[in-house]
Structure 1
Amino acid sequence: MMPLTIAAAQSISIAGDLAANIAWHQRFMQVAAEQSVQLLVFPELSLTGYERGLAVELAIAPEDALLQPLRDFAQEIGVTTVVGMPIRLSENSPVLMGALILGTDGSLGVYSKQHLHPGEEVAFAPGFGGSTLTIGGDTVALAVCADFSHASHAAAAAQQGADLYAAGVLITENGYAPDTALLQGYSVTHSMTVLMANHGGATGGWESAGRSAIWASDGSLIAAAPGTGSLLVVAQRNADGWAGHVVAVAEA
């Protein structure tokens, strides 16, 4: 297999402050580039925080100029980056929970959360998923939080030939054990590497558990954040297999 370096960005979002969150995303992206990361995945709704009450106000078209600095930076540093944002696919369409793929060639991919968590329907409509993406020789399927609670979602990813299942999430302490058991189980069942990027702190009135993690296709843990905080969880694959480490991310 080709060498591969992936990372989960365990970022902390400032509620509704897009300018500050974009700057913070760029800092994570810079640190990821320094670690030779090829694919960087942020948590669910990372650019706004998990703020259901602000979603309608903040939702944008994926191609909105607001995201151009992040798109340009992903291209400049050569890191494919997946960010979370409330989106509308057209002016009058419902708000979706988006995961936007900022390509190193300037491209933009759109994934929208298919399976809503109870309570999210007050602000969001179910989305449509999205295509897999290719990183080097690997095929990547995305998920946004409650998507992975449906076994059919991970199974569909495997059927599409995914080598990596990457989920941006918000998971609290109470949900952490059962949710990570599911994700680890998918790695074994479907022989996929599984990445989980969780929020690094409180958001939308929820206390995130942090502890973002990456599992190899045999279920073994490659790397995990020890708790909450602004951290980058990195996994590197070479001819000898996987190795992982965690990097603290501080303001520049």
Structure 2
Amino acid sequence: MSTLTIAAAQSLSLAGDLPGNIARHCRFIETAAEQGVELLVFPELSLTGYEGDAAAALAIEPQDAVLQPLRGLARKLGVTAIVGMPIRLEGSVSALIGALVLGADGSLGVYSKQHLHTGEELVFAPGFGGPTLNINGDVVALAVCADFTHASHAAAAADQGANLYAAGVLISEKGYAVDTVILQGYARQHSMAVLMANHGGLTGGWQSTGRSCIWSEDGSLIVAAPGTGDLLVVAQRNEGVWQGRVVPVTQAR
């Protein structure tokens, strides 16, 4: 089994501030590269914040040039980054909750949230999912928040051969215990590592609890953030053994 280093980018989002959030994401990608991270996963709607109508108004086509600073940096530093962004696909007026795959090789992949949380249908349309990723032989399936509350979603990932299930989320204290039990259960049931990247604080009126986690293929907790804030939650597999660490991310002032 090859080595693999993955990380959850537990980030704070500036409400509706796309340029500001791009700058913050760049700092996460730089920190991840310093830690040898190959796959970096951000929370749901990380580039706009979970801001409802305001986020939907910022929806872009995935190829939009506004993302070029992030795409260029990911390629330069050799980090595949999954960023949260409202998107509109060509020929459609509907906004989708997207997770864009900024490949270390310069490629661009698109995943869109399939299962909406109650109330999201007022602003967003259900998405179409997306293909699995291959990170040096490891097969990664993506999820965005409420996707993982449907057992069929994780089962489909396992059926596609995924050995890592990576979810960008927004989870408050109220839902944290239930949601982490679900995700940990998928690791055990499907023998795949599970990564959960949560927001680092308040967004869209929701107080995220942070505490991003990564579990191993047998459901054992590898590493978890101790609370909120801008943190990189890193897990490294070497010869089948996982080790984890939490790294603070310092933003420019």
Alignment of 1:198-217 (within 5 A): 198-217=198-217
Partner amino acid, structure 1, of 2:224:
A
How far did residue 29 of structure 1 move? Answer: 0.4
Q: 1:104, CA displacement in angstroms?
A: 1.0
Return the offset for 1:92. 3.6
Q: Does 1:231 align with 2:231?
A: yes
Aligned to 2:221: 221
Q: Deviations over 1:97-132 (max 9, x none)?
A: 000000011100000000000000111000000000
Deviations 1:208-246 (A, max 9, x none): 010000000000000000000110000000015000000
State the distance in 2 between where 1:92 and 1:71 align: 24
| CA distance 1:14–1:180, shift in 2 (3 Å) | same
Q: Which secondary structure state, in structure 2, belongs to the residue aligned with residue 242 of structure 1?
A: strand
Q: Which residue of 2 aligns with 1:156?
A: 156
Query: Does residue 246 of the first structure (1) align with residue 241 of the second (2)?
Result: no
The worse-fitting range, judged by mean Cα deviation, of 54-63 and 4-13 is 54-63
Q: Residues 1-56 of structure 1, C-alpha deviation per residue, up to 9 Å, x if partnerless?
A: 10000000000000000010000000000000000000000000000000112133
**C-alpha separation in 2, matches of 1:64 and 1:107:** 13
> Residue 88 of structure 1 contacts residue 95 of structure 1 at CA under 8 Å; is this kept in 2?
yes
1:61 maps to amino acid? E
TM-score, normalised relative to structure 2? 0.98
Give me the whole-angstrom Cα distance separating, in 1, the residues matched to 2:251 and 2:43.
19
Q: Could you tell me the TM-score, scaled by structure 1's length? A: 0.99
Corresponding residue for 1:31? 31
Preserved contact between residue 55 and residue 95 of structure 1 (Cα < 8 Å): no
2:98 counterpart residue number: 98
Q: Secondary structure at the match of 1:214?
A: strand
Indicate if the aligned counterparts of 2:195 and 2:215 stay in contact, CA closer than 8 A: yes
Matches of 2:91 and 2:47, distance apart in 1: 20
1:91 Cα deviation (Å)? 4.9
**Counterpart of 1:70?**
70
Check conservation: 2:49, 2:55, Cα contact below 8 A: no
Q: Percent of pairs identical after alignment? A: 71
8 A Cα contact 2:188 2:217, kept in partner = yes
For residues 66-93 of structure 1, give each alpha carbon's deviation from its aligned partner in whole angstroms, at most 9, with x where no partner exists.
0011000000000000000000002543
Q: How many residues align?
A: 252
The residue number in structure 2 matching 1:123 is 123
Residue identity matched to 2:157: A
Match of 2:166 in 1: 166
Distance in 2, matches of 1:200 and 1:229, equals: 5
Report the equivalent of 1:143. Answer: 143
1:109 paired residue number: 109
Aligned-CA RMSD value: 0.8
Q: 1:137: how far off? A: 1.4
> Is residue 177 of structure 2 the alignment partner of residue 177 of structure 1?
yes
Q: What residue in structure 2 maps to residue 50 of structure 1?
A: 50
